């Protein structure tokens, strides 16, 4: 693990594809280098795929700049035999998108089976501290939609790896419907296997279902699952206000509506959880 802090070019072959939800796929990559920490991400350059060459040329001509590489959180933990990334494709929105997304709709497919992917790995600060038991008695995982990806890796690393056994993990997972829940069966199995170390709470915002909480995360709900605010570390991943929304707010004078991360940050503050104990990652 001596190279664990060095970002390096890597190559992996997709040996398994799994459709997690109607629009979300996990790609399992076989690679010789798995020196990473749970919660980190890899970066993929779209220019390596011949199928995307023409649309890339067109978009780059219109933008007058090169298309950027894209980052994808890993769903796998270091003890697993493959490096896995879960992709929920971005969708074109004519209200604020000048161009369609290119890479994520291409990757999120069973057609990637057998393909070789070049990527940069591994990096990202969304990791648990080495001395976790000294800092916390509980890790509160707060995720929405595909925000579950890095937290799924953290949970597997800690629970299956039997790391920091004195720390309890609570996952509050927010989705629109039952069918939108990524890793639904795997999370249920973890909850069954590690009942003393893991509490699983599912929230559905657009569907009522027995055994599931209906609605969005509230102060009251989260407070009921926090034992001691001074001994909890909170890890949140989900949507946040985008650059486009901030620019629009500046031009119109109308504040952008809080999204998942902003709402969770307010709740953390209300609970008295120190900012240093609250780590978050966001997507647009």
Of the chain, the percentage scoring pLDDT greater than 90 comes to 87
Cα–Cα distance, 23 to 238 (Å, whole number): 17
| Res 21 pLDDT > 50 | yes
Q: What is the pLDDT of residue 4?
A: 58
Q: Are residue 76 and residue 189 in the same domain, yes or no?
A: no
Q: Bin 159: left if φ > 0, else alpha if -120 < ψ < 50, else beta.
A: alpha
Cα–Cα distance, 97 to 221 (Å, whole number): 35
Q: What is the pLDDT of residue 284?
A: 56
Task: Average the pLDDT over each of 29-43, 58-72, 91-105, 194-208 and give the range with the smallest value.
Answer: 91-105
Domain boundary among 67, 99, 123: 123
Mean pLDDT estimate for the chain = 94
Residues in a beta bridge with 214: 204
Q: Are residue 94 and residue 146 in the same domain, yes or no?
A: no
Cα–Cα distance, 56 to 194 (Å, whole number): 46
Q: What is the pLDDT of residue 2?
A: 44
Nearest to 28 by CA among 70, 65, 79, 81: 81
Q: What is the pLDDT of residue 184?
A: 98
pLDDT tens digit sequence for 44-96: 999 999 999 999 999 999 999 999 999 999 999 999 999 999 999 988 888 77
pLDDT tens digit sequence for 231-255: 999 999 999 987 778 778 788 888 8
Cα–Cα distance, 153 to 121 (Å, whole number): 16
pLDDT tens digit sequence for 126-170: 999 999 999 999 999 999 999 999 999 999 999 999 999 999 999
Q: Are residue 142 and residue 274 in the same domain, yes or no?
A: yes
Q: What is the pLDDT of residue 5?
A: 63
Q: Are residue 117 and residue 138 in the same domain, yes or no?
A: no
pLDDT tens digit sequence for 204-215: 999 999 999 999
The answer to whether position 117 is within a domain reads yes
Domain boundary among 68, 103, 123: 123
Q: What is the pLDDT of residue 251?
A: 83
* pLDDT confidence band for 1 (50 / 70 / 90): very low
Q: Are residue 56 and residue 176 in the same domain, yes or no?
A: no
Q: Domain count for the chain, please give it.
A: 2
The answer to whether position 2 is within a domain reads no
Structural domain that includes position 80: 8-123
For residue 185, what are the contacts with CB-CB under 8 A and spacing of at least 6? Answer: none
**Which class for 186: exposed (0-12), middle (13-18), buried (19 or more C-beta within 10 A)?**
middle
For residue 217, what are the contacts with CB-CB under 8 A and spacing of at least 6? Answer: 142, 172, 174, 203, 263, 264, 267
Residue 72, token pair as written in the block:
């994808």
* pLDDT confidence band for 273 (50 / 70 / 90): very high
The answer to whether position 276 is within a domain reads yes
């Amino acid at each position: 693990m001596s190279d664990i802090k060095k970002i390096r070019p890597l190559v992996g072959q997709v040996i398994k594809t799994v459709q997690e939800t109607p629009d979300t796929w996990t790609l399992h990559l076989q690679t010789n280098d798995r020196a990473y920490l749970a919660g980190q991400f890899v970066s993929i350059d779209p220019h390596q795929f011949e199928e995307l060459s023409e649309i890339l040329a067109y978009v780059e001509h219109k933008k007058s700049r090169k298309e950027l590489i894209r980052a994808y959180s890993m769903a796998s933990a270091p003890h697993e035999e493959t490096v896995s990334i879960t992709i929920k494709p971005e969708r074109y929105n004519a209200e604020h998108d000048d161009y369609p997304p290119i890479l994520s709709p291409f990757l999120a497919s069973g057609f990637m089976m057998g393909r070789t992917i070049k990527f940069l790995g591994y990096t990202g600060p969304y990791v648990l501290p080495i001395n976790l038991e000294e800092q916390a008695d509980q890790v509160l995982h707060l995720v929405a939609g595909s925000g579950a990806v890095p937290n799924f890796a953290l949970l597997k690393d800690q629970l299956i790896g039997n790391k920091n056994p004195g720390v309890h993990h609570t996952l509050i997972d927010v989705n629109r419907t039952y069918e939108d829940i990524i890793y639904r069966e795997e999370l249920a199995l973890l909850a069954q296997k590690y009942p003393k170390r893991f509490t699983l709470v599912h929230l559905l915002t657009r569907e009522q279902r027995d055994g599931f909480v209906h609605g969005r995360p509230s102060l009251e709900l989260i407070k009921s699952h926090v034992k001691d605010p001074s001994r909890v570390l909170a890890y949140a991943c989900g949507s946040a206000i985008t650059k486009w929304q901030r620019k629009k707010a500046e031009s119109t004078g109308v504040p952008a509506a809080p999204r998942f991360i902003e709402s969770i940050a307010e709740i953390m503050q209300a609970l008295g959880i120190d900012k240093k104990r609250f780590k978050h990652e966001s997507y647009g």
